[in-house]
Amino acid sequence: MSSELAETRGNLATALARARQLLAVSPRQAVEQAREILKIVPDQPQASLILGAALRREGDLTAALGELEALTQRQPKAAQAWLELGLVRAALGRTKGAIAALAESLKLNPDRADAWQVLSEQYGLAGNEAAQNAATAQQIRRATKDPVLLEAATALCDNKLAIAERILKNFLKSAPTNVAAIRMLAEVAARLGRYGDAEILLARCLALAPGFTVARHNYAIVLHRQNKSQEAIAQVDMLLRGEPNNPAYRALKGAAFGQIGEYAKAIECYQDVLKQFPNQPKAWMSYGHALKAVGRQADCIAAYKKSIALAPALGEAYWSLANLKTVRFEPQDIDAMKAFAAREKLADEDRYHLHFALGKALEDEGKFAESFEHYAAGNALRRKNISYDADETTDHVRRSKALFTREFFAARTGQGSPATDPIFIVGLPRSGSTLIEQIMATHSAVEGTMELPDIIAIARRLSGRKSRSQTSNYPEILANLDADALAKLGSEYLERTQIQRKLGRPHFIDKMPNNFAHVGLIHLILPKARIIDARRHPLGCCFSVFKQHFARGQAFSYEQTELGRYYADYADLMAHFDDVLPGRIHRVLYEDVVNDPEREVRRLLDYCGLPFEEECLHFYRNSRAVRTASSEQVRQPIFREGVDQWRHYEPWLEPLKTALGRVLQEYPSAAWN
């Protein structure tokens, strides 16, 4: 064949065509064919491209990388070469380099839907959700041929979600089985946070097109975001049958395992991913989170530091170290964080995480004024990017007080599930609830789980609310539920939470603090469940919340006035339940636990109908997994230092004091009113 290739240009074209055919059916033979061509015509661009692509498909990633990097240097305008280079870097776990190559390819040829899809996945691995959404929207747009769907995809790319939703709903009236449109509408719903709607749409999409891999990945993510971990894992397993080494799928599976307390399996997933793709900073960070939960602090710190070494400006990794509460940053670490936080071009997510980490680092050094500046900056930036209406919380309290009267509860005595299994710990975050949980979970009859989302999920479903503009039916809808419906809801809660129970103990703890807003629901569907209100000094609790960055779910916490109002609303609602259900809720003041732990532990156990066990006073010896910001603190004996830390920041807390009002002025007596 060598002499033939040397004879005419036509023979070269024939040889290249043959190489392309082989690439589709036999990459190994394509490698041989391409190398034969390159012997006769060194650096021939098409042959070099085929060789790089074939080497990638054969799994010889190092050789493919060298070939394609050289090709893109020689042919910087070759979009396909950049795409192949992006695919190789992605397969090697070089996420940052993959993003750069894919972006270059798309700059040259923006119509490649497959390239946008891979870029979306790489942004997901890098933890850049905004860029991931934008790339997904572009993928949908480029994959769409129908002019109406193209219009919807353009609106999606421009983040005009209401317009996209209207177009898609109208389109699906006449074409209800169009899977591209269904998936696009699911994307709109997910962006709006309507994950239940997105789930239904994606299930329909997959029923019509079971091989629609992108939709299945979207489906798994939506399930995961709704804490439907087992269902998400089942979908990921289906994806992994087609792509067993896909790091995005494997990392998602690890996150889902962590969500149901299967930390050993989660750690194994992350270890497998990192063994093959060791240059994934987000994967190292997720691995660190799992290690933190099981108390492997040294390994956890090493994982977070590895994440920083791979991505020095990754703010969340610095915050993860700070959030251990036991780590002290070196001066060079603080200087690095300050330098990154001052960068003009830095994602908001990285910037606010750096501010929160710097607040903690400078607090440890006693530089309280400078520390507060960073806490305030992090909170202001975070508040800018979330939606929260303090009036909604106040209105929910008002409506709950109007509905839940003594007469209302008396008329429903004896209804609901008779189960005594759950012990709810409610209140605000950073109120000492993790300490109470750790004490209780050290008892031989009680299992600790985590902050379970199931009561909130039931309440959300009962609300019937599809958008923020709609009025919620909750809590008033509870008045329409008969005894059978209430019992079924109680049973549903027990079924939903069964996956979290590993030890077979008669009682388990649900430590979701926000459940205070649903005490009425809990009492109706689980009247024999225990409810513990964990409370802390208003300024101590609120400032501890203010300096804590939460991944999600605590939108009230980033502005002092809103935070103070939230605490006051919480205290008002709990006082109402004390009045209409006297003795139903057991209150524990954090300061009392610190001052006299044995007395408070005995009170707790008496309320729960459990015998005193000495080991509960030595809760810090409990090796159970803990998945909250206080995980490392509750692995130590009780210490007083944290009680009055807020006093260092009192000069800057006037808006918080004003919003708290009476509950601050009358604490602790107001806690018992």
- Res. 283: pLDDT tops 80: yes
- The bridge status of strand 585-589 relative to strand 507-510 is unpaired
Compute CA distances 53 → 19, 32, 50, 85, 153, whole Å. 11, 12, 5, 9, 30
Q: How confident is the model at residue 633 (pLDDT cuts 50, 70, 90)?
A: low
What would the pLDDT profile of 358-386 be if each residue is shown by its tens digit?
Answer: 999 999 999 999 999 999 999 999 999 88
Rounded-to-integer distance, Cα 474 and Cα 458, Å: 10
The H-assigned helical ranges of 416-559 are 433-441, 454-463, 483-497, 519-525, 538-546
Q: Beta strands of 277-428 (E only): which ranges?
A: 422-427
CA-based angle 120:122:127, to the nearest 5? 95
Q: Are strands 585-589 and 422-427 parallel, antiparallel or unpaired?
A: unpaired
pLDDT, position 366: 95
At 611 the pLDDT is 96
The helix/strand/coil state of 415 is: coil
Q: CA–CA distance from 425 to each of 63, 182, 575, 643 (Å)?
A: 57, 40, 16, 20
Query: Could you give the C-alpha distances from 334 to 303, 328, 341, 358, 364, in angstroms and in order?
Result: 19, 10, 10, 7, 11
User: Which pair of structure tokens corresponds to residue 2?
Assistant: 């060598």
Reply yes or no on whether the pLDDT at 4 is more than 50.
Answer: no
Closest CA to 57 of 80, 33, 36, 88: 88
User: What's 584's DSSP letter?
Assistant: S
Phi, psi (rounded to 5 degrees) for 97: -65, -35
Per-residue pLDDT of 81-107, as tens digits, reads: 999 999 999 888 788 899 999 999 999
Cβ atoms 610, 505 nearer than 8 A: no
Q: Answer yes or no: is pLDDT of 1 > 60.
A: no
Angstrom distance (rounded) from CA 622 to CA 230: 27
Domain 400-466+474-623+637-672 falls in which CATH fold? Rossmann fold (3.40.50)
Percentage of the chain with pLDDT > 70? Answer: 94
pLDDT of residue 354: 96
More confident residue, 123 or 562: 562
3-state secondary structure of 597: helix
Over the stretch 143-180, which tens digit does the pLDDT of each residue have?
A: 777 788 889 988 988 889 999 999 999 989 988 888 88
pLDDT at 458: 95
Angstrom distance (rounded) from CA 240 to CA 271: 16
In Å, how far are 291, 333, 339, 366, 480 from 321, measured between CA atoms?
Answer: 12, 11, 18, 18, 48
Higher-confidence position of 336 and 248: 336
Half-sphere exposure of 31 (CA within 13 A, CB side): 14
The sign one gets for the Cα dihedral 651, 653, 659, 660 is: negative
pLDDT of residue 91: 85
Structure tokens that stand for 660 in this block: 């708290």
- 627-662 burial, b at 16+ Cβ within 10 Å, e below that, comes to bbbbbbbbbeebeeebbeebeebeebbeebbebbee
CA count, 13 A, side-chain hemisphere, 321:
26
Q: What is the pLDDT of residues 398-448, one digit of tens each?
A: 999 999 999 999 999 999 999 999 999 999 999 989 899 989 999 999 999
pLDDT digits (tens, 9 = 90+) for 24-43: 888 889 999 889 899 988 98
DSSP conformational letter for 616: G
CA atoms within 13 A on the CB side of 337: 30
**Gap between the Cα atoms of 497 and 230, Å rounded:** 12
Region 541-546: what's the mean pLDDT? 95
CB 520 within 8 A of CB 475: yes
pLDDT class of 639 with cuts at 50, 70, 90: low
SS3 585: strand
pLDDT surpasses 70 at 337: yes
Radius of gyration of the chain measured on its C-alpha atoms:
28
Partners of residue 507 on adjacent β-strands: 446
Which residue did the predictor score with more confidence, 246 or 305? 305
Q: Are strands 507-510 and 530-535 parallel, antiparallel or unpaired?
A: unpaired
Check if the beta carbon of residue 117 is closer than 8 Å to that of residue 214: yes
Residue in 324, 356, 364 with CA at minimum distance from that of residue 337: 356
Look-up: residue for tokens 């006035």? Answer: 561
Lowest mean pLDDT among 62-71, 125-134, 441-450, 602-611: 125-134
